[in-house]
Every structure is written in structure tokens, then in C-alpha cells.
């Protein structure tokens, strides 16, 4: 083969390779998109409890990186990872992310928001808060979160000062 024909063959092979990679990417993205769904505000039920964060919808995605996070206009939860936790911890994760919509980026303020809201609603007890603390007690912290023991101590302070049953 002459040089121009080899070049044409190489370009064709490269184009086929790129098309195959893009095709695989599209099908992976489609599979991930099929796993994700958006739940309208007030329609989310986790472990038998209806959860609501004002008019903020919830996106459920098994492919989400981590158990939950807040983005402008939505809360994203990973149901596959969330199932690993007791019900009270799942609810607190949701309200922690809701807290970001109410109090901003501070992880500590979002924790306190969740604790105060849950205690006021009557479903977070001191025992339930122990379950929450146990779920991250060994965490070294990171991404704005304090180390687990410090985070737990601050949540207990919020609990003691929040209105609602002791």
C-alpha cells in the first residue's frame, strides 16, 4: 500500500475506534440515566416516612458518588448506599442535605439544622442520635465535614438546645 492509502486506512480505523468508545459511553450514560429518577417535593418516602425539603426535588441515583449531596435546586441520594443505614440515619442524611438548602454550605450548620428539625418533629431521640453518631464516629472528616467524634459532639449540643421532647 502507498502512503496515502495507509493514512486513509489509519484515519478510518481511528474514526471507528472513537465511534466505538463514544457508543460505549452513550450506552453507559443511558444505563445510568435509566437508574436515576427525580422525585417531586413532598413525594419522597424513605423507610416509611414522607420527607420534604420545601420545594426541593430529590434525585435518586445508584450511580451517585456518595450517599447524598446537595446541589442548587436538588438533593441527590444514592439509594444503594443509603440502604446500608438504619432508618433514622437515612432520614438524618436527607435532612442534612436539606439543611444545605436552608443554611448554606456549612456542614456543621447543616447537621444542626437536621438535628433541630428532626427533634422538633418528634422522631429524633437521644437514642436515635446515638445511631447517627455511630454511623460516622470513625470518620476522619473531609470535604468540610469535621472528624466523626467532633461532629457528633456538636450534633449533641444542637440536640440539647433544640425545642422538642428530650
Place of cell 460516622: 136
Contacts of 118 (CB under 8 A, 6+ apart): 91, 92, 95, 124, 128
d(CA 87, CA 111): 17
| DSSP helix/strand/coil, 74 | strand
**Which residue numbers in the chain have pLDDT < 70?**
1-35, 166
The answer to whether the CB of 144 falls within 8 A of the CB of 158 is no
CA dihedral sign, ordered 82, 83, 85, 91: positive
Domain boundaries, the chain: 1-35, 37-161
| Residue 33 confidence (pLDDT) | 43
Amino acid at each position: 500500500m502507498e502512503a496515502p492509502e495507509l493514512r486513509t486506512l489509519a484515519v478510518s480505523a481511528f474514526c471507528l475506534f472513537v465511534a466505538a468508545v463514544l457508543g460505549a459511553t452513550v450506552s453507559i450514560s443511558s444505563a445510568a440515566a435509566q437508574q436515576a429518577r427525580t422525585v417531586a417535593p413532598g413525594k419522597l418516602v424513605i423507610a416509611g416516612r414522607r420527607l420534604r425539603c420545601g420545594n426541593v426535588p430529590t434525585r435518586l441515583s445508584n450511580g451517585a458518588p456518595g450517599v447524598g449531596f446537595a446541589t442548587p435546586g436538588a438533593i441527590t441520594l444514592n439509594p444503594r448506599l443509603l440502604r446500608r443505614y438504619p432508618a433514622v440515619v437515612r432520614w438524618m442524611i436527607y435532612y442534612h442535605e436539606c439543611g444545605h438548602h436552608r443554611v448554606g454550605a456549612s456542614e456543621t450548620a447543616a447537621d444542626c439544622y437536621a438535628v433541630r428539625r428532626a427533634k422538633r418533629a418528634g422522631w429524633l431521640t437521644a437514642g436515635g442520635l446515638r445511631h447517627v453518631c455511630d454511623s460516622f464516629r470513625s470518620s476522619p472528616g473531609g470535604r468540610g465535614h469535621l472528624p466523626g467524634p467532633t461532629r457528633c459532639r456538636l450534633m449533641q449540643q444542637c440536640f440539647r438546645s433544640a425545642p422538642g421532647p428530650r
